[in-house]
Amino acid sequence: MDGDWDEVARIPFPPPGVHALPTPVTTMTFDNSQELLWTGNDYGRVTSFLGTEMQRYTSFKAHSAADGPVRQILVNEKGVLALGAKDVHMALRRGLPLWHIRHDDIIDLRCMSFTSKGTAEIIVAGLQDTMLVIDLNKGEVVKQIATEHQYSIMKRGRYICAATKSGIVNLLDPVSFAVVKSWNAHSALINDMDAQHDFIVTCGYSLRQGQTYMLDPFLNVFDIKQMSSMPPIPFPAGAAYVRMHPRMLTTSIVVSQSGQIHVVDLMNPNTSNVRQANVMSYLSMFEIAPSGEAIALTDADCCIHLWGSPSKLHFVDLATPIEFATADDHAPQLEWGPETPLNSVGLPFYREILASAWPDLVSDVGAPPVRFDPEFLAGLKAADFGSYGRNTRGLRRNQAEDTRNTHRGGNTGLKAPKFLSEKAREFVISDSRVSDDETD
Amino acid sequence: GSELYRELENGRIARLLMKLGTVNERQEFDGDRAWSENGERYMLKLFRDYVFHQVDGNGNPVLDMGHMLRCLNRLDAGTEEKICLNSRDEQTSFVVSYKELKKQLANAFSELQKSCKSG
């Protein structure tokens, strides 16, 4: 973290409705190919923010509000994945849904991780005894795995590092998902975890005097090469959140709830770079961008703080351009009159079948009109706009009727065929006769 | 010749409007996830608003036939141009191409066709 790092932007996290109270960010992640920060809210909504100005980009519902917060977000080259307690939703970065999974074995999901298949497959887990493997290209559950442990955090390092609710981190084989090693990281529970390169780092709680949960005043480190834990790194302010630096392989950034930020080299913990984030309440989350040139912090006042060097801040090294709406080519303003032909606005160049192409459907255009039962008509009340009453016709609303057959009558024997107009006329005459009879 | 072309064009617009009319807001789709806020058909509802429910800065209706026809023509051809669709509560924003909308319309219409007795 360079000396000129500072808070470059602070935005209020959008509340869930126009007049609704703000709610905290439930999860966030930096995109790995575009200058976007992805966030989730308490009502299943995913919103992305663009660049240094944190301008709102897209926003969509990943699942219904009744199913609670967005638990975790992952991105791959195709799009963005949002995990809810009962749903897994994948969408394009532009917001369009790709697929959505609800499954009988999904009870209460909390976390997910990419597997051995790069970014084409994930495993999802939670407070349930089954983990599910999902093929991201097909949008299908491809495998179910029974688990003795229930997981709340997952990070993909060399292994899938999965934190339980009781302070243990299991190292799962990314192919077989078998537990390779169990590491007892904290005595009560794990608050935050990261895994990259050769290390797993954790922040957690201990139960003090048997009744209050206190953040441990140290960072716990596990060395994957040695398959053993390293001496904890002291952090007197109470280590709440931690991320490994994506570029500096042995560096981690540790943050306290009150906003103290330490940049620590795991190999040389005595030389740490300390900064203070300006928070009125307390911090609730922390993320680092893949470039290592930006970090985001969220606070209990529902704000997102973006930190970095004001001159160099970027999220990814070679960002793919953001896809915006195409600028309108300022079409000439036409004077629309009753005679202006619709083809004054031309059809763009096209190669494929037009959307207006109508399929080969048989359509009946000449049938006589529907005849209403006199009892039904008599039951209607007259009003200025027409007559109204209950639908007592024994037919559905807008039900299509075959008026050719119903009005054929009881005639037998052959008759000369009639034109449709003749039939329609006869029908109208017979109808008026019916109403005449009634008035008599 | 130009008269004929004009009528062909009108017929094309009419058929496209009929397709949009048959798929949007059908009662059968109530409770269908594909049409809900996280469903893939939700875009067609928002597109209907984008084309026909345009408003000015004061929220008054804008009845610009040029806008409606430009949008419909682009949908008909399925161009690569992208538009930003926003939900009525302004909470949801999508950036979507006419090509993607055309595909959604085709899917929705063919679903109706499949369950239609003459189709």
Go through A266-292 and write b for each residue having 16 or more CB atoms within 10 A of its CB, e for each that does not. beebeebeebebebeeebbbbbbbbbb
Residue A440 pLDDT more than 50? no
**Which pLDDT score, from 0 to 100, does residue B9 have?**
83
What residues of chain A lie within 8 A of the CB of B82, using their CB? 94, 323-326
Q: Which residues of B touch A334 (CB under 8 A)?
A: 65-66
- Residue A439: the pLDDT is 43
Quote the DSSP letter at residue A41.
-
Taking contacts as CB-CB distances below 8 angstroms, the residues of chain A near B6 are 341-343
Cβ-count burial A116-126 (b if 16+ within 10 Å, e if not): eeebbbbbbbb
φ, ψ of residue A10 in degrees (nearest 5)? -145, 120
pLDDT score of A437 more than 50: no
Select the residue of B12, B81, B93 nearest A95 (Cβ to Cβ): B93
- In 10 A of CB B106, how many CB atoms? 16
Report the gap between the CA of B81 and the closest CA in chain A (Å): 6
The ipTM estimated for the assembled molecules is 0.90
Q: How many CB pairs under 8 A join A and B?
A: 138
Residue range A268-293, pLDDT digits in tens: 988 778 999 999 999 999 999 999 99
Mean pLDDT of A104-114: 97
User: What is the Cα–Cα distance from A21 to A397, expressed in whole angstroms?
Assistant: 42
Q: Do A357 and B93 touch (CB under 8 A)?
A: no
pLDDT of residue B67: 92
Q: Are strands A272-276 and A260-265 parallel, antiparallel or unpaired?
A: antiparallel
Partners of B108 on chain A (C-beta within 8 Å) are: none
For A289-335, write each residue's pLDDT tens digit: 999 999 999 999 999 999 999 999 999 999 999 999 998 766 777 77
Q: Which of A294, A299, A306, A221 is nearest to A264 (CA)?
A: A221
| Confidence check: pLDDT of A415 > 70 | no
Q: What is the pLDDT of residue A406?
A: 58
Percent with pLDDT over 70 in chain A: 93
* pLDDT above 60: residue A436: no
Q: Are A305 and A10 in contact (CB under 8 A)?
A: yes
Q: Please state, for a pLDDT cut of 90, what percent of chain A lies above it.
A: 73
pLDDT tens digits for range A3-52: 889 999 999 999 999 899 999 999 999 999 999 999 999 999 999 999 99
Q: Which residues of B79-101 are buried (b: 16+ CB within 10 A; e: fewer)?
A: bebbbbbebeeebbbbbbbbbbb
Q: Scanning every residue of chain A, which has its alpha carbon at the shortest distance from the alpha carbon of B107? A: A355
pLDDT of amino acid A438: 46
Q: Do A356 and B81 touch (CB under 8 A)?
A: no
Mean pLDDT, rounded, for A178-203: 95
In this complex, the residue of B36, B76, B116 whose CB is nearest that of residue A356 is B76
- In Å, how far is A369's CA from the nearest CA of chain B? 20
Please give the DSSP secondary-structure letter assigned to residue A158: S
pLDDT (0 to 100) of residue A165: 92
Interface test with A, best of B6, B86, B91, B111 (most A CBs within 10 A): B91
Decide if pLDDT at B56 tops 70: yes
What is the C-alpha separation between A42 and A69, in angstroms, rounded? 4
Query: Å from B55 to nearest chain A CA?
Result: 17
DSSP string, chain B: -HHHHHHHHHHHHHHHHHHHHHHTT-GGGTT-GGGSTTSTTHHHHHHHHHHH--B-TTS-B---HHHHHHHHHHHHHT-S-EEEEE-TTS--EEEEEHHHHHHHHHHHHHHHHHTSTT-
Q: Which residues pair with A320 in a beta bridge?
A: none
Q: Residue B119 above 50 pLDDT?
A: no
